[in-house]
Amino acid sequence: MRFKRLGASLLVTGLALLGTASPALAHSELKSSDPARGASLATPPTQIKLTFSGPVTLADQNPIQITGPENASWTVGRAEVAGAVVTAPVQAVGPAGEYTLRYKVTFEDTHATSGSVKFNLTAPAASPTSQSPTSQSQTSQAPTSSQAPAPQAGETTPEDLVPTWVWIVLAVAVVVAGIVVALRFTRRKD
């Protein structure tokens, strides 16, 4: 009878710990973006803004990329982080159509994540009439940044595939199963 009480108390304690720990285990996420997801814009933005539910840092050298129809690739300036908000100046080029803003950040809990926001331009973005040497060097870097998503896609970690809470539930289940097996063996010996 003592073992049943021990097993029951361990189970209740484990479930209580799991219940209180799950909010702390929740990862931050993208709360809003400018341009907003699904927005239709008559003129392209000159700056993008991503607001997350918690503080972030930039994950790599090209954390933000914007691509669109006909292989259009926008020039994204240096991204700035202020707590949970990431902003970056952009120079739009390309035809009207659907554009995808891709981002990669690391949250305060060291969980790196990437995501995307799709929006539409209803009119083509005007091409710059003259390129300064600075914008030409940024343009020459664009192919490098458009090649960056391929390696990032292969950086999937087990945490990205299975949420942390699933691993905790699995660990609790294994412990409970071990206790049940131990109780059955001790009962058979009596």
Phi, psi of 170 (to 5 degrees): -65, -45
- Weakest-pLDDT range from 65-74, 103-112, 128-137, 140-149: 140-149
Rounded to a whole number, what is the largest CA-CA distance in the chain? 90
| pLDDT for the residue 64 | 93
- Partners of residue 73 on adjacent β-strands: 67
Least confident of 15-24, 111-120, 154-163: 154-163
pLDDT, one tens digit per residue, over 118-151 is 999 999 987 655 444 444 444 444 443 333 333 3
Q: How many residues does the chain have?
A: 190
User: In the structure encoding, which two tokens stand for residue 98, read together?
Assistant: 């659907």
